[in-house]
Amino acid sequence: MTMFQRKEKDLLLEIVCCISVLVLGVTSDGFYIKKYPFNKEVEEGSSVSLDCLAVPSNNIVYKWNHNDKIIKFDNHRFLGHDNSTLYIDHADRNIDPGVYFCIALNSSSKFARKSKSGKLEVTWMEPKVEILMLQPARKEDLKLTGIVLLKCHGIASPKITKDNINWFFNGNSELPSGTRIQTDGTLLIESISKNHFGFFHCLILHTTGKMDSLIPFILDLNDKTLNPANFSMYEKEGKTVTLKCPWKNGSFVWSKFLRLGDPLTLMGSESFPNIEIKGSTLTISQMDASGDAYYLCQDADKIKARVAVFRVSLAKMYDFKRDYFSPALDENTPLVIKKGENGGINFYIDLTSSNSFLFDKIPNPIPEIEWSFQDKEIPKYDVNSQTSPPRVHVIRNRHLVILRAEENDRGTYIIKMHNKAGTRFKQFRVEITFPPEFSDRVDSQPQLLNEDDSLKLDCHIIKIASDETTKVYWKKDGTPIAQYMESLSYENNGKILKIERAKSEHTGEYQCFVKSIGYSEFFNRPQKIIIKAKLQFVGINSDVFLEINKDGNIHCKTKGYGKIHTKWFKIFNSDSINSKTTLNSIDSPNEILNDGTLVLKSVQKENSGNYLCEAKSMSTNEIINKTIKLVVGEKPKILKVSENKTVQEGTTLVLDCVAIGDPSPTISWFMDNPVHGKILITFESNKSDNERRKLYKNGTLIIKNVALTDEAKYSCFATNNQLLSVDGNVQVKVLTPEEYSKQKLGAQFNRGMVKTIIIVVSCAISYLILIIGLTVFCSFRMLRHRRNRNLTAENLDKLGDNTQLMKPIVGTNPNGGCNSKEKILSKTTRSGPQNSATVNYLPQVPYSSPQNYYMHYNSSSLPQVGPTYLSNPLIDTNHISEFQQLISAPPPTPLESRSNFSGNMSSTNSASMYTRSHFSSSTNGGVGGMGMSSMERLTYPRHELQTEGMLGKGEFGDVLLARARNIQDGESQSLVVVKSLMHNEPNHCHEFHRQLDLLARTECDYVTKLLGICIELEPCLLILEYCEWGDLKQFLRCLQDRSNPNLPYLTKGQKMTMCAQIAKGMENISYIRCVHKDLAARNILVTPQLNIKISHLGLCRDIYQSEYYQDGENIFPIRWMPPEAVLQNKYSPQSDVWSFAVTCWEIFGSTALPMSKYRNEEILDILTSCSSLTHTKVQTMYSNLEQIPPECSHTLLSIIKKMPFY
């Protein structure tokens, strides 16, 4: 079942389930599993997710099952933000492989459903490959004509097969005759001969990476003393490496190759300045990355044909990374394990390279890994062992395991990674948590404390975990206390709560609780504290003003310990001479409330005077008192305020405000000005009589010499003691003398203005009546003339046939010759009916005649369309509606009705003018070999195109994906590529027509067809054939992504077929004497049958912008171009051959970027500065193109090797 059929099946299942829910009724149990886990592969150490979703998802709780066991979620396996998707962090080969399915549970109805299951495979490969000799059993048994059977041994999952193994002899992939690779990947030498004497290596290409045999297998019966380990060496950067051929006598030649299977490069002191060769000895003076390679020592005597292969590797060591560990290790955060439970940490480092150890920054040689605790190495344990593991052990040097954690497991652990390049350490701490232990000494009786005393509350903890994992907090009356609250502080990590100066608000119930990682909160018994506060008054005013004839309150608020009794007295001076006073109690109807407030009913003047409030604590017998003065009066009332005023600049402004009250109120003004803000004007603010703004005691505000800044809103308010009265606002507007005069005269002009308006409206109404009358008169006159004309026609019919009389008017020239094209048009559209000739002096151009159209409208203003915005080949439909109007424009209309399209079109029409001039410049009427009849045949109605989405931005316009109706025989709708010419630069127009010429003249199954053109409106469009599987580069990238198990692998034969089809297509292009200029995988389309078609999408301004180099207005693919095209702008079929070689490299190299180590500017600088292609810099620049994959055939390899740097 294909991927598309599978999606259709899932969609059908979803629709059936939705209908079932609707028919049966949406109950609490009415849900189904929409998403479920699929089979997946994940590389060990990487993260992966498994989907699960129930619809509808209300009240749904998800659980996951792994190998028939419910998963207990932790830092390794957990649910995502949607609470349904299972995430696995750092997949592990021992924990995570198996069958997964999810269970959706409705929390309301307790109804559950089980999803389909999916299988998870964890892929891995051990970083060790070695060659084992299976036959004979001992090396001493090797003899001429004997049999040798070699095995390339590696451990991986999935298992290593023949397709993963590559064999090499003396560094070359061509094995000598008499050797055969068997079905299980072993190498069989059926009869040993001298041709087989040499060095054998093997390379394993696995889904997780690649690894070769570090130590070769040496087959040399003449010298059995050769030790294979001596031919593989590592050295640190900057050190000296000395290689010596194992034979004493003879003349030797040294060669070098970077990787197994690469071509040999003869060595000399000129080409390799850091290398010195003296006879059989080769010395690398300063080891660096350029010295990391294979070195071949070969006897110049062809009869002896002795060969030795040395592998020299640059020893490197790298620091630990945070993502190597699961869970992640932070500098200040320990690994926490609960006491009695299992825990540990996993160390994941990928030691198998995808490119090379240096490029992938992998330690080389493979480092030794050790774990230690308290200066003792942690023992290693083999999972295949039958014995019980130690309580603390290490598995495969990768996983630290702590079983049944104890308190003495707490401490610092060290992981060490070392090789010849150096040693790296990583320290991390492990903390063991456990519940706290409290004592029973907490007193249940409340503690009494006087105000301003100090107190310490103890949490009474006997045993607790470390301070890093456990914190102690306190609550007061159930609310957490901040650590540094006023008068409260923590001591001894919160175990002690200290009250510095006790206040009444500190009274309450205190309780300590412990938070430990991995546990819920633990509470000790509460402790009650009572603060005996001092007796005192709170917030009492000494002077109180009450309004006459109204009830009033005099407050006497107190606080203190225990019950407080409040009394009120009125103070009388019984003896004014001796200053004696008398206290009278408060009589009814006045009363004293429970909170000590004195309520006076209907306050009168005689209620004025001094009152005494006395408070007594019934617990401590403490007494305090307070004297309050009461004033009885009338609330201020504003009687008069000036109205809004408009004054002239420079005059005097007078604002009145009259208020009454008892006692007499004080009047003030507020000035609210946008410039100066709010300004308070009071009587006390008057500095002198000369102040420009002056407020008098009667409330009048006078502002002399008014300025424009005095324009503001003025507010008057009156106050006596604590009562306030505010009246409405006065808006003051200040005008200049000219404005003030115009405003005064404006009232006089108002009446004249009304008369003028009446006259103008009357004239307008009279004019409308006149127009209507003339329209009616002309209509009756037209009807009368038409009736007379019909009568005349009937009379002419009676005279006989009038066809001969009409012919000279319709189609002939009185002077003889051809009909005038400006007067008679008889063309037909592509799909419209045949029109008879008519007399029409206004040109009406048929849709399918671009020549006729340009003949009449060559200089007219055509409708233009603005630019659209494209995106990735994964179709973006966000801007379809914007381009829909462009690509689906209706057929051309007469000139008078075209103005309504001008608003939707671009302001640049020179591109279309250039196009028309280019097409009509010759008598043949076309570009190259394309005549006007071909143009008519290719012209396609623009309105028949339906935009599907954007593919990208090209050099001269946008590239879209669209559907075209009836553009190909046998298809009602076809998926096509539409390229638009959006720019008016001459070079863009020239390139547009060059591609049009190339595609129109090419007739080949491996080149996309030009299906149609739209050039009657801007932008001009090319309609090209499209293939369902998109461009080749995206296709190969999708196949490289192995997250989708439905995608197959491309075989060697399929890749070769693609290269052959490209070659045939390019041969056809060169046969018609055309040059493609941009041959690359991105410009090749793929059909579902894996056939290819060469196209010219040219998405250089969007998704593939990084693969192009821009020099001013010119954009060109510098990595696919030969040097003569880059430096001298010379293009030829030979330059397309160069691009073909790079394209083949893309196909066999999984679409990697050519020369990825260099930026575009660096490539250009190297080519410009180097006069020869054999220069060292040029050879270094093309080094990654030399890495042709081993499965590339010899024929194709020979084509690629024709590139000059070989």
Asked if 111 and 249 sit in the same domain, the reply is no
The region of weakest confidence among 39-43, 328-332, 962-966 is: 328-332
Asked if 668 and 733 sit in the same domain, the reply is yes
Asked if 21 and 36 sit in the same domain, the reply is yes
pLDDT mean over 506-529? 89
The region of weakest confidence among 89-93, 123-127, 988-992 is: 988-992
Q: Is residue 111 part of a domain?
A: yes
Residue ranges of the annotated binding site for ATP are: 979, 1082
Asked if 898 and 957 sit in the same domain, the reply is yes
CA–CA gap between residue 102 and residue 79 (Å, rounded): 11
pLDDT at position 1018, please?
81
CA–CA gap between residue 574 and residue 578 (Å, rounded): 9
Asked whether the predicted pLDDT for residue 700 surpasses 60, the reply is yes
Asked if 507 and 544 sit in the same domain, the reply is no
Asked whether the predicted pLDDT for residue 789 surpasses 60, the reply is no
List phi, psi (to 5°) of 523.
-110, 140
Band of residue 31 on the pLDDT scale cut at 50, 70, 90: confident
Q: Is residue 819 part of a domain?
A: no
Band of residue 877 on the pLDDT scale cut at 50, 70, 90: very low
pLDDT at position 750, please?
61
Asked if 1080 and 1186 sit in the same domain, the reply is yes
Question: Token digits for 540?
Answer: 């009492």
pLDDT at position 439, please?
86
Q: Is the peptide bond before 365 cis (omega within 30 degrees of 0)?
A: yes
Q: Which residue has the higher pLDDT, 504 or 436?
A: 436
Residue pair 490/458 in contact (Cβ under 8 Å)? The answer is no
Task: Please list, in sequence order, all residues whose beta carbon lies within 8 angstroms of the beta carbon of residue 544, skipping any fewer than 6 positions away.
Answer: 552, 554, 628, 629, 630, 631, 722
Asked whether the predicted pLDDT for residue 964 surpasses 70, the reply is yes
Average pLDDT, the chain: 79
Give the residue from 226, 248, 276 where a domain finishes.
226
Asked whether the predicted pLDDT for residue 289 surpasses 50, the reply is yes
pLDDT at position 830, please?
33
pLDDT at position 243, please?
93
pLDDT mean over 432-451? 85
pLDDT mean over 759-775? 91
pLDDT at position 22, please?
41
CA–CA gap between residue 32 and residue 113 (Å, rounded): 7
| E runs forming strands in 937-972 | 945-953, 958-965
Give the residue from 1025, 1059, 1082 where a domain finishes.
1025
Asked whether the predicted pLDDT for residue 936 surpasses 80, the reply is no
Q: Which residue has the higher pLDDT, 674 or 857?
A: 674
pLDDT at position 1200, please?
55
Most confident segment among 241-255, 888-902, 973-987: 241-255
Q: Which residue has the higher pLDDT, 781 or 1087?
A: 1087
Q: Is residue 753 part of a domain?
A: no
CA distances from 579 to 542, 572, 609, 610, 1003 (A): 21, 10, 15, 14, 129
Active site residues: 1078
Asked if 972 and 874 sit in the same domain, the reply is yes
Most confident segment among 370-379, 464-473, 999-1008: 370-379
Asked whether the predicted pLDDT for residue 903 surpasses 50, the reply is no
**Sign of the CA dihedral running 521, 524, 525, 528:** negative
SS3 state of residue 1127:
helix
Q: Is residue 818 part of a domain?
A: no
Residue ranges of the annotated binding site are: 979, 1082-1083
Question: Token digits for 985?
Answer: 């630069």
Band of residue 751 on the pLDDT scale cut at 50, 70, 90: low
Asked whether the predicted pLDDT for residue 219 surpasses 60, the reply is yes
Q: Is residue 774 part of a domain?
A: no
Instruction: Determine the structural domain holding residue 304 and report its residue range.
Output: 227-314
Residue ranges of the annotated binding site for Mg(2+) are: 1083
Asked whether the predicted pLDDT for residue 398 surpasses 70, the reply is yes
Q: Which residue has the higher pLDDT, 104 or 383?
A: 104
Q: Smallest Cα–Cα separation from 626: which of 548, 700, 539?
A: 539
CATH code of the domain in which 472 resides: 2.60.40.10
pLDDT mean over 253-277? 84
Asked if 146 and 61 sit in the same domain, the reply is no
Asked if 604 and 696 sit in the same domain, the reply is no
Residue-wise burial string across 923-956, b where 16 or more C-beta atoms lie within 10 A, e elsewhere: eebbbbebebebbbebbbbbebbebbbbbbbbbb
Q: Within 13 A of 681's CA, how many CA atoms are on the CB side?
A: 24
Asked if 446 and 390 sit in the same domain, the reply is no
CA–CA gap between residue 566 and residue 585 (Å, rounded): 12
CA–CA gap between residue 679 and residue 718 (Å, rounded): 16
pLDDT at position 809, please?
29
Q: Smallest Cα–Cα separation from 634: which of 759, 509, 717, 546?
A: 546
Q: Which helix H or strand E contains 762, and what residues bound it?
A: helix 737-799
Q: Which residue has the higher pLDDT, 926 or 410?
A: 410
The region of weakest confidence among 309-318, 556-565, 876-885 is: 876-885
Asked whether the predicted pLDDT for residue 527 surpasses 50, the reply is yes
Asked if 960 and 1107 sit in the same domain, the reply is no
pLDDT mean over 465-483? 86
CA–CA gap between residue 1061 and residue 1079 (Å, rounded): 13
Condensed to tens digits (0 to 9), the pLDDT of residues 1072-1129 reads: 888 888 899 989 999 988 899 998 877 766 778 888 888 877 788 998 998 888 888 8
Condensed to tens digits (0 to 9), the pLDDT of residues 199-208 reads: 999 999 999 8
pLDDT at position 1173, please?
54
Q: Which residue has the higher pLDDT, 982 or 922?
A: 982
Asked if 926 and 937 sit in the same domain, the reply is yes
pLDDT at position 1177, please?
57
Q: Is residue 276 part of a domain?
A: yes
Most confident segment among 466-470, 895-899, 928-932: 466-470
Most confident segment among 274-288, 799-813, 1189-1203: 274-288
Band of residue 930 on the pLDDT scale cut at 50, 70, 90: low
pLDDT at position 1181, please?
56
pLDDT at position 908, please?
35
Q: Is residue 786 part of a domain?
A: no
Partner residues linked to 880 by β-bridges: none
The region of weakest confidence among 24-38, 961-975, 1029-1043 is: 24-38
Give the residue from 505, 532, 559 where a domain finishes.
532
pLDDT at position 386, please?
87
Band of residue 1150 on the pLDDT scale cut at 50, 70, 90: low
Nearest 5°: the CA angle 371, 346, 208 is: 115
Residue pair 945/888 in contact (Cβ under 8 Å)? The answer is yes
How many distinct structural domains can be found in the chain? 9
- Taking the mean position of all CA atoms in its chain, how far away is CA 78? 24
Q: Is residue 808 part of a domain?
A: no
The DSSP code for 879 is T
CA distances from 1091 to 614, 1088, 1160 (A): 106, 7, 32
pLDDT at position 18, please?
47
Asked whether the predicted pLDDT for residue 393 surpasses 90, the reply is yes
Most confident segment among 757-766, 954-963, 1103-1112: 757-766
CATH code of the domain in which 880 resides: 3.30.200.20
Q: Smallest Cα–Cα separation from 629: which of 550, 536, 722?
A: 722
